[in-house]
Amino acid sequence: MPMLDGISLRDAFHKGPALKTIFSIIPSIEIIEMIAIAGFDAVILDMEHGPYSIDSLGPLILAARARGIFPIARVQELSPALIGAALDAGAAGILVPQVTSAAAAAEVVKAARFAPQGARGVNPWVRAADFDAERGWFAQANRSICVMAMIEGREGLEALSDILSVEGLDGIFLGPVDMAQSLGVAGQPEHPIVIEALRQTIVRATENGMGAAVFAPTVAAARRWLQLGVRLAAISEDTAVILSAFRRLISELQVPISEA
């Protein structure tokens, strides 16, 4: 289950072309399918901000896999129980918000990997193990799962050097929306001081051999970060995309018929 077309998210993240993904906060199988059909490589199932819990994750993970994209779960917080449950349900990667120290990043790794690299809770009869794990599954899961810690505030930036040396962490994922609040420019994820903080962090991560990932509120932002070498860019949110399509439709319809 951790693989998709023979490649794991972890390998795709480190070795493949940069991944293009989107946050999904509408818990809908059809939305996940359309994200795949549109051509994204992965979807981030957002349990932090989306109105759903672990029991709706399974069908969404299956929808993503059936349509050939990687399901990544963003859990609500650094909780080993939540991380383990999302991985057991079949998530290919895990994203943990608001990581502010190397110790916290190490906790994320510990919760997401089995021994000897970590201490993920063990149950081999779950979807991730095809309900019947062979002995090799634990090592395969450790090799395949992509583990990312979000840096989205001043404290995380200050702890960057230490976070970059955490063993077993695949990537840091930058959150400009929370970062803007933390840097005193709430609501302005494209403010120059946010962009500069992100730019420096991406460069330092890349120089240290750590994959960088980022949320981009716009296509222009996504292009900027892809050019700088991020391994994964999450462009927008399903809600934002759908609302803007609805608005465009109704505003086009409101043009008087004689002028259209």
Give the residue numbers marked as catalytic. 49
Euclidean distance between CA atoms 96 and 150, whole angstroms: 6
Other C-beta atoms closer than 10 Å to the C-beta of 260 total: 8
Euclidean distance between CA atoms 43 and 64, whole angstroms: 7
Looking only at residues 164 through 193 of this chain, which bind Mg ion when binding is defined by CB under 5 A?
175, 178
Q: Which is nearer to ligand 3PY, 133 or 216 (CB)?
A: 216
DSSP letter at 18 equals P
List, in sequence order, every beta strand (DSSP E) within 35-123: 42-46, 70-74, 93-96
- Which H or E run contains 165? none
Contact segment (CB under 6 A) with ligand 3PY among 116-124, 154-162, 176-184, 245-253 equals 176-184
Contact segment (CB under 5 A) with Mg ion among 82-90, 145-153, 181-189, 232-240 equals 145-153
Contact segment (CB under 6 A) with ligand 3PY among 4-12, 132-140, 172-180, 248-256 equals 172-180
Please tell me whether residue 90 binds Mg ion under the rule CB under 5 A.
no
The correct pick among 107, 152, 170, 238 for binding ligand 3PY (CB under 6 A) is 152
Please tell me whether residue 178 binds ligand 3PY under the rule CB under 6 A.
yes
Count of residues touching ligand 3PY (by CB under 6 A): 7
Q: Which is nearer to ligand 3PY, 152 or 170 (CB)?
A: 152
Residues 6+ apart with CB under 8 A from 132: 124, 125
Contact 19, 41 (CB under 8 A): yes
